[in-house]
Amino acid sequence: MNKYVAVIKNIDKTFVTKKGQAIHALQNVSLKIKNNDFVCLVGPSGCGKSTLLRIIAGLEQASTGTVVFRGQPVTKPDKRLGMIFQEYSLLPWRTVADNVALGLEFAGKPISERREVSKKFLDLVGLTDFATSYPYELSGGMRQRVAIARALANDPDVLLMDEPFGALDAHTRILLQRELLRIWEGNRKTIVFVTHSVDEAVYLADRIIVMSKSPGRIRDIININMPRPRNRANPLYGQLSARILDMLEEEVAQLSTVAIVKGL
Amino acid sequence: MNLKSLYKFAIIMVVPLFLFSLWWYVAVQIKNPVILPNVEDVIELLSNPTNNLISMGSLASNIIVSLVRVIVGYCLAALIAIPMGILMGYYSLVHNLLNNFIGLFRPIPPLAWVPLVLAWFGVSSLATLTGIEHGQWYIYLNNIKLSMIFIIFIGAFFPILTSSIYGVQSVNKTLLDSALVLGAKSSEVFGKILLPAAAPSIINGMRTGLGVAWMCLVAAEMLPGSLSGVGYLITHAYTIARTDIVIAGMISIGLVGALLDYLFRFIENKKFSWQHLAR
């Protein structure tokens, strides 16, 4: 079997805004994602990391370049490429259990199987008792757990996560990071995780891809060999975080210099 | 708890009771039933809705005739406006194609259509359309003039169309994306995500549309060829100076309209409570 589950090659993406302005979002991004890898994409906001994730998911098309997933170019969404969004992705008119079973319903699975699978994954994320609740009855953290359960119930090969904990408070965020690692250790799905939090990336990832802004490029790739669960008090943890933060700071500083020169 | 609901009831009743007393007092003072009939006379009319009035049938039968007319025109409007609104909300091409054009018609009040509608349809009715010329069905169908249906249609059409467009356009894109990545086909995205997500807005437009359709009724029933309905009852009672019937008819229109509105609100609360609770 191929070592790489997805190969991203020379991706370029240019948007045209409503005002007719062309924005160069991604420039020559190439990346190979290994099986069972936990990759985090970090970068200043607006560096195109979410766009890259959406291109991998098949929700958007690259202007040039290709994403090859298991030997096939990605041109449209594929249920083997699961995705978790920052928020508001649950259907508010469906119960938690019916939300989790959504992918199975699209696959035409019978109701008995849907029930069974949705129960299994609600157990996994610790929400067994909330099967008949509605999303609006849950906290933000619980809703993201449901979103994770829903993505996993579809049994994807790769889990693409777009700042999934970005809207949560600091404490819930740390709890869910731990939860995610526990689940990942159990099933070892390949995860591509977009975040703007350096701490989150260092806590979770095998590899951190640091992106630069305007246009988005890969600036550096950092392998993290610390054993999990990682201790935030570990000096190595702090050094790594500081190193990445320095890179991001440079990015932002460069941009503001550019802005000053341009008189913005 | 019981005391609380009693208190709430009392609060609700304050303004109506005050107005009723005022009406009662003024009516007794001016002693002219053409200007302001006695409260008792109107209540008498309303509490016997099946009595025959000024040889025009009873209040109840006229309300039913009116209801049927409104429902026919309204259903026609809903049948056209909802699919059209969904298409316009979903495809920007259809939206660009139609929106400005439709925008020209939106501000025209239904009443302004009357002359044109008369020129087009005259006194032809559903009976003319179906070719039935005799019997009981003729009497029923002939009561439903095409001109009336058109006026009611115009009244209901725009609120339903506008909120259908808005409902589809304001569906959260993340919901559609998350269905796509879970493997939904486009028909499933449409039927299981887009429609249910837009439904509260569509239902809300249907409620507004029904209200407007009901309000257009009197205008529609003033058209030539009309011989029944509450709107006609009111205009006819006015020509023979029966103000008590006019007021009884107005109150009936208000009550039925409020009841229809309540029905829709009930459905909204039952089926779409998630809309207000969703964060």
Among B178, B184, B185, the residue with its CB nearest the CB of A85 is B178
**DSSP one-letter string for B142-161:** HTSBHHHHHHHHHHHHHHHH
The arithmetic mean of pLDDT across residues A197-213, rounded, is 93
What's the token pair of residue B68?
């049927």
Question: Looking at the DSSP assignment, which residues form a beta bridge with residue A193?
Answer: A40, A161
Interacting residues of A32 by C-beta distance below 8 A, sequence separation 6+: A4, A6, A7, A8
Query: A106 and B188: CB-CB below 8 Å?
Result: yes
DSSP 8-state secondary structure symbol assigned to residue A109: -
CB contacts of A87 in chain B (<8 Å) are 174
- pLDDT recorded at residue A45: 83
Report the residue of chain A nearest B186, measured CA to CA. A106
DSSP 8-state secondary structure symbol assigned to residue A86: S
- pLDDT recorded at residue A9: 93
Among A81, A91, A107, the residue with its CB nearest the CB of B193 is A91
- pLDDT recorded at residue A255: 66
Task: For residue B253, give the nearest of B65, B77, B13 by alpha carbon.
Answer: B65
A61, A91, A94, A160: best to mutate for the B interface, most B CBs within 10 A:
A91
Interacting residues of B277 by C-beta distance below 8 A, sequence separation 6+: A92, A134, A136, A137
- pLDDT recorded at residue B198: 94
- pLDDT recorded at residue B1: 61
- pLDDT recorded at residue B229: 87
**Residue A176 pLDDT > 70, yes or no?**
yes
Question: Looking at the DSSP assignment, which residues form a beta bridge with residue A64?
Answer: A12
Mean model confidence pLDDT for chain B: 88
**Residue A256 pLDDT > 70, yes or no?**
no
What SS3 class is residue A146? helix
Mean model confidence pLDDT for chain A: 91
The arithmetic mean of pLDDT across residues B91-105, rounded, is 91
The arithmetic mean of pLDDT across residues B12-34, rounded, is 89
- pLDDT recorded at residue A179: 93
State pLDDT tens for residues A116-151.
Answer: 999 999 999 999 999 999 999 999 999 999 999 999
Pairwise CA distance, residues A248 & A250, whole Å = 5
The complex's ipTM works out to 0.90
Query: A77 and B180: CB-CB below 8 Å?
Result: yes
Shortest Cα distance, chain A CAs vs residue B103, angstroms = 23
Q: How confident is the model at residue B133 (pLDDT cuts 50, 70, 90)?
A: confident
Among B175, B184, B196, the residue with its CB nearest the CB of A89 is B175
Task: For residue B189, give the nearest of A155, A16, A73, A106 by alpha carbon.
Answer: A106
- Contact call for residues A11 and A65 (beta carbons, < 8 A): yes
Which of A200-204, B32-36, B240-244 ranks highest by mean pLDDT?
A200-204
The arithmetic mean of pLDDT across residues B123-145, rounded, is 80
The arithmetic mean of pLDDT across residues B88-100, rounded, is 92
- pLDDT recorded at residue A20: 84
A98, A136, A162: best to mutate for the B interface, most B CBs within 10 A:
A136
> Beta strand A38-42 with A190-194: parallel, antiparallel or unpaired?
parallel
- pLDDT recorded at residue A209: 95
State pLDDT tens for residues B249-272.
Answer: 899 999 999 999 999 899 888 888
Among A59, A92, A102, the residue with its CB nearest the CB of B182 is A102
Q: How many interface pairs between A and B have CB atoms less than 8 angstroms apart?
A: 68
- The region, left, alpha or beta by phi > 0 then psi within -120 to 50, assigned to residue A207 is beta
Shortest Cα distance, chain B CAs vs residue A26, angstroms = 21
CB contacts of B188 in chain A (<8 Å) are 106
Pairwise CA distance, residues A165 & A144, whole Å = 8
- pLDDT recorded at residue A261: 60
Largest CA-CA distance found in chain A, in angstroms, rounded = 64
- Contact call for residues A47 and A213 (beta carbons, < 8 A): yes
**DSSP one-letter string for A25-56:** EEEEEEEEEETT-EEEEE-STTSSHHHHHHHH
What's the token pair of residue B253?
């229109």
**Residue A243 pLDDT > 90, yes or no?**
yes
What's the token pair of residue A213?
């802004």
Higher pLDDT, A23 or B219: A23
Query: A88 and B193: CB-CB below 8 Å?
Result: no
B176, B178, B185, B202: best to mutate for the A interface, most A CBs within 10 A:
B178
Query: B274 and A81: CB-CB below 8 Å?
Result: no
> Beta strand A72-73 with A64-69: parallel, antiparallel or unpaired?
antiparallel
Query: A106 and B275: CB-CB below 8 Å?
Result: no
State pLDDT tens for residues B153-190.
Answer: 999 999 999 999 999 999 999 999 999 999 999 999 99
CB contacts of A106 in chain B (<8 Å) are 179, 182-185, 188
**Residue A39 pLDDT > 60, yes or no?**
yes
Q: Give yes or no for B104 touching A (CB within 8 A).
A: no
Query: B278 and A135: CB-CB below 8 Å?
Result: yes
**Residue A101 pLDDT > 70, yes or no?**
yes
Task: For residue A97, give the nearest of A131, A55, A59, A144 by alpha carbon.
Answer: A131
Q: What DSSP element (H or E) covers A243?
A: helix A235-262
- pLDDT recorded at residue A153: 95
Q: How confident is the model at residue B42 (pLDDT cuts 50, 70, 90)?
A: confident
State pLDDT tens for residues B198-215.
Answer: 999 999 999 999 999 998
Pairwise CA distance, residues A256 & B30, whole Å = 81
What SS3 class is residue A18? coil
**DSSP one-letter string for chain B:** -HHHHHHHHHHHHHHHHHHHHHHHHHHHHH--TTTS--HHHHHHHHH-TTSB-TTS-BHHHHHHHHHHHHHHHHHHHHHHHHHHHHHHHH-HHHHHHHHHHHHHHTTS-GGGGHHHHHHHHTT-BHHHHHT--SHHHHHHHHTSBHHHHHHHHHHHHHHHHHHHHHHHHTS-HHHHHHHHHTT--HHHIIIIIIHHHHHHHHHHHHHHHHHHHHHHHHHHHTSTT---SHHHHHHHHHHTT-HHHHHHHHHHHHHHHHHHHHHHHHHHHHH-THHHH--
- The region, left, alpha or beta by phi > 0 then psi within -120 to 50, assigned to residue A88 is left
Burial A153-165 (b: 16+ CB within 10 A, else e): bbbbbbbbbbbbb
> Beta strand A190-194 with A64-69: parallel, antiparallel or unpaired?
unpaired
Higher pLDDT, B134 or B8: B8
- Contact call for residues A146 and A99 (beta carbons, < 8 A): yes
DSSP 8-state secondary structure symbol assigned to residue A137: G
What's the token pair of residue B222?
């003033």
The arithmetic mean of pLDDT across residues A92-102, rounded, is 95
| Domains of chain B, start order | 40-278 (1.10.3720.10)
Chain A positions with Cβ closer than 8 Å to B? 57-59, 77-79, 81-83, 85, 87-89, 91-93, 102-103, 105-107, 134-137, 147, 150-151, 154, 160
Q: How confident is the model at residue A262 (pLDDT cuts 50, 70, 90)?
A: low
State pLDDT tens for residues B59-88.
Answer: 888 899 899 999 999 999 999 999 999 999
Query: B181 and A88: CB-CB below 8 Å?
Result: no
- pLDDT recorded at residue B26: 92
Pairwise CA distance, residues A53 & A162, whole Å = 7
